[in-house]
Structure 1
């Protein structure tokens, strides 16, 4: 069920973040205890490896869940094209163009209206077509998602190696059975960095939602009408 109010969005994001935080804290405590009591043991190494995989899983999962929550919220506002920022106007028109090229008559009509009557036309894009982590949430994929919904990605640019190599490549290596073993104590550092990024995503979304609620129009954020 898509969130309909600002309060529902806040609750959804807090819930999505809180259970992930609890699980990662529990795993971190187990890793620290194993590294302290039996450093270099198979258990300590296995827990450290699972820590990297879980950090990536929660990072990708939260980005997908929270950004989709935002898209679903703004979609319900049924804003006109002239109320959208440039990034989402581009996203909407690209989606319509792809579907029109495939012969979809309703998309052709919507595209014509979007071009000829932007102050009347409602934004329409295919449900589920914007927030796609591609099962490998590298920095380029994150930037694509953030840009499509009208959020700045500059603060994540300095973390591209963390996102690509440490998280994504690390998860892939462990999931594919490679002998990648994190250094003792590295989970706590990576955990803090991942939580910081997830909290930043949450804060960006909440700031945009609250701004929309107070201004009644989109200013620097995006919205759309999702096709059923």
Structure 2
């Protein structure tokens, strides 16, 4: 994947990623509002599309941020607690699966000397589990070291019950009656959460929150 060298490049990629999603959601909303005989079908399709963009948006923006952090090439010891924790988790997972002492010794050497090496973070550390509930979403936020906004906790039931549960019901082929008056505020609330999340990613990149000390220099 292409590297992202500057905050401006990251902003552009985020805007491109979110732009087409907003257009699709706007089109979906118009279909729901304009439909008559097929309104329930469009509402059910709207829930599926809204969930798809909820999960896809969070995952793609998170991965763009991780790619940006990797491009800055900080050393492990300079990473914030959130990102260093992710880096160590990957190595610890390898140890847990290994039965040979060589892997264990390598990890010990890394703890002594490897922290001064340039870090690499896997974009796969963000896992939406194909079921982005409020709990999974908050895990993503914490993994990225982003603020735990009160809006996330106050809208947890909305995400779990009105979006994720409904999406699962529809995706499993079960009938679900929906009302336009219920769908419109749901889409607005979901988009509001996504905008907050995206703004926090942008802010984290510009303030270098991925570092334990934002004032530390990094080299590429």
TM-score by length of 2: 0.86
Unaligned runs of at least 5 residues, structure 1? 221-228
Q: Retained in 1: the 8 A contact 2:74–2:118?
A: yes
Q: How many matched pairs? A: 211
Residue 12 in structure 1 maps to residue 8 in structure 2: no
The SS at the match of 1:151 is coil
Residue 48 of structure 2 is matched in structure 1 by 53
- Corresponding residue of 1:184: 180
- How many Å separate the matches in 2 of 1:4 and 1:23? 29
- Stretches of structure 2 that go unaligned for 5 or more consecutive residues are 215-220
Q: CA RMSD in A?
A: 2.4
Aligned mates of 2:210, 2:155 — CA distance in 1: 34
* Paired residues of 2:5 and 2:68 also in contact (CA < 8 A): yes
**Residue 180 (structure 1) shift:** 1.1
Normalising by structure 1, report the TM-score.
Answer: 0.83
Residues 123, 113 of structure 1: alpha-carbon distance in 2 compared, 3 angstrom cutoff: farther
* Residues 107 and 25 of structure 1, relative CA distance in 2, 3 Å threshold: farther
Residue of 104, 124, 128 corresponding to 1:129: 124
Cα distance, 1:16–1:105 mapped onto 2, change above 3 Å: farther
> C-alpha distance in 2, partners of 1:89/1:143?
18
2:205 counterpart of 1:204: no
Aligned to 1:26: 27
Q: Give, in whole Å, the separation in 2 of the partners of 1:10 and 1:153.
A: 22
Deviation at 1:74, TM superposition (A): 0.2
